[in-house]
Structure 1
Amino acid sequence: MRIATYNINNIVTRLPALTAWLQAEAPDVVCLQELKADQAAFPLAALQALGYDAVWKGQRTWNGVAILARGMTPVTTRTALPGEPDKSQARYIEAAVGGVLVGCLYLPNGNPAPGPKFDYKLAWFEAFLAHAQSLLNAGVPVVLAGDYNVVPTEADLYANHSFGANALLRPETRAAFQRLLDQGWTDSLRAVHPNGPLWTFWSYMRFRWPKDKGLRIDHLLVSPELAGQLTNAGVDRWVRGLEAASDHAPAWIDVER
């Protein structure tokens, strides 16, 4: 089973790129973030024509998350993160798909930091940490996939960067991500590829894509029940090079199911 995560950065605008990727790579499960479309605008018919069913939580202009499944129907278990600090923001959806519990998340960016937006990021993270622990306690195969807006280490972004106090790599942000790993979650991309760049995001600014100045902020964390079944992982970089592409590329894992 191939499980992927992709910050689509507007599903209506990027539908041609999404279609091209789905047709070329045929992942079994896809977590999408930043739909930037309300519930009624989600292009379900177009996805069903490609063989995918979906559950989603839309939001006009910002946010929005979805889980797609090829040849399967996701069974929704949650449409919000328990205890999240602002329930008006569509940032989490969870569904059972093919014997795996899939959590799709869009963690707040948090900039500028420090400030109220960074405080919200950390508060959301705390709620997520609590829910992640409850999922581990359940002892079932789980993947938590999405745009975490976290650069875990200096190896996860280009050298000689000028991000400084950016919320994506502040010590508090990295410490919260490490707490997730300390709970028992496996950072699957790094488990398969412990060394080297695994960029999933390239800013539209300053020619970051042609210069390959990227960051790794999209992650797939797997529970112990799934970690032993992990066989491969990667990033479909070619998608970032498509016309009118998102500033992210899909990241994916293969697990034996």
Structure 2
Amino acid sequence: MKIASWNVNGIRARLDHVSDWLQINQPDVLTLQETKVMDEMFPLDAFKPLGYQVNIYGQKSYNGVAVLTKKPLTEIKKGISGFKDDQTRVITGTYNGVLIINVYVPNGQSVGSEKFDYKMRWLKHFYAYLQTLLKAHQKIVILGDFNIAPADIDVHDPELWKNKVLCSENEREWLNQILGLGFADSFRLFEQQERLYSWWDYRAAAYRRKMGMRIDLILISEALKKDCMKSYIDETPRGQDKPSDHAPVLIELS
């Protein structure tokens, strides 16, 4: 089973990119972040001919998540249970016995800002939500744009980004607490080349200069570790015309 995630930075702007990528890669599940469209405006009809069903949780102009699946997604929930939030950042459902949790973690803007405080509160509630889900599910995949680089190896210039948003100690501590619940960063289960990233700023020719970060993650529960055959990043779409600033990340489960 192939499961993928992609922050598309606007589904309507990237519709052709996503459609082409689906036809080439044929994932069983594709989660999207930053769809940036209200549910009634989501281009559902574009994916039906490709063999995908779509579950969406969006809002106008900002945020938004979606899950595309070849077979029906069940037990669908939107948002974080017990956390009142007007931002559409989480959609959860079960596929082939695996709980899929699609997340778009807040960016945080800058350390110490109000948006950073919101990010800390959000992560606290998300952590508690995961604790609840773990009581009912063993096979879990959490994937999406985490807006956190797990370690310095995931940053093109760790010294430049030291103690800044995406790389701060507080953000990494929350990620480590989530991992401490029994999840593994699937990418680091395998030997990887150096300087592999999933996000590059549009500015300063960052992609061409390999000035990126790995902030799009796929975390898997202990019960899935033995089934994980591969975890990788597909940079191809980032080099296309008018791309998202993120690349798809994928795992393959036996």
- The TM tier, using the shorter chain, reads over 0.9
1:194 is displaced (CA, Å) by 5.6
Q: Partner residue of 2:164? A: 166
- Is 1:77 the counterpart of 2:103? The answer is no
Q: Partner residue of 2:111? A: 113
Aligned residues of 2:99 and 2:137 also touching (Cα < 8 A): no
Aligned residues of 2:228 and 2:252 also touching (Cα < 8 A): yes
Distance 2:43 2:118 in 1: 30
> What one-letter code is carried by the residue in structure 2 that aligns with 1:83?
G
Aligned residues of 1:185 and 1:224 also touching (Cα < 8 A): yes
Q: Partner residue of 1:11? A: 11
Unaligned 5+ segments in structure 2 are: none
1:76 is displaced (CA, Å) by 4.2
Moved more, 40-49 or 151-160: 151-160
> What one-letter code is carried by the residue in structure 1 that aligns with 2:77?
R
Q: Partner residue of 1:53? A: 53
> What one-letter code is carried by the residue in structure 2 that aligns with 1:75?
T
SS of corresponding position for 2:135: helix
Q: Partner residue of 1:67? A: 67
Q: Partner residue of 1:242? A: 240
Could you report, residue by residue, the CA deviation over 1:197-232 in whole angstroms, capped at 9, with x for unpaired residues? 330001101000111111000011111111111001
Q: Partner residue of 2:251? A: 253
Aligned residues of 2:101 and 2:140 also touching (Cα < 8 A): yes
Q: In the superposition, relative to structure 1, how do residues 194 and 236 fare at CA in structure 2: closer, same or farther (>3 Å)?
A: closer
Aligned residues of 1:55 and 1:76 also touching (Cα < 8 A): no
Q: Percent identity?
A: 34
- Is 1:141 the counterpart of 2:158? The answer is no
- Is 1:154 the counterpart of 2:152? The answer is yes
Q: How well do the aligned residues superpose, as a CA RMSD in angstroms?
A: 1.4
> What one-letter code is carried by the residue in structure 2 that aligns with 1:79?
K
Aligned residues of 1:202 and 1:213 also touching (Cα < 8 A): yes
Distance 2:222 2:136 in 1: 11
> What one-letter code is carried by the residue in structure 2 that aligns with 1:15?
L
SS of corresponding position for 1:40: helix
Distance 1:176 1:221 in 2: 14
Distance 2:211 2:140 in 1: 31
Q: Partner residue of 1:90? A: 88
> What one-letter code is carried by the residue in structure 1 that aligns with 2:174?
A
Aligned residues of 2:80 and 2:126 also touching (Cα < 8 A): yes
Q: In the superposition, relative to structure 1, how do residues 160 and 95 fare at CA in structure 2: closer, same or farther (>3 Å)?
A: closer
1:195 is displaced (CA, Å) by 5.9
Moved more, 53-62 or 130-139: 130-139
Unaligned 5+ segments in structure 1 are: none
Could you report, residue by residue, the CA deviation over 1:29-74 in whole angstroms, capped at 9, with x for unpaired residues? 011000001111111110111111010101111000011112x111
Distance 1:236 1:115 in 2: 33
Q: Partner residue of 1:40? A: 40
Aligned residues of 1:111 and 1:166 also touching (Cα < 8 A): no
1:180 is displaced (CA, Å) by 1.0
> What one-letter code is carried by the residue in structure 2 that aligns with 1:62?
Y
Q: In the superposition, relative to structure 1, how do residues 11 and 76 fare at CA in structure 2: closer, same or farther (>3 Å)?
A: farther
Distance 1:56 1:199 in 2: 27
Could you report, residue by residue, the CA deviation over 1:115-171 in whole angstroms, capped at 9, with x for unpaired residues? 211110010001111111222232421101110000111000113662344221110
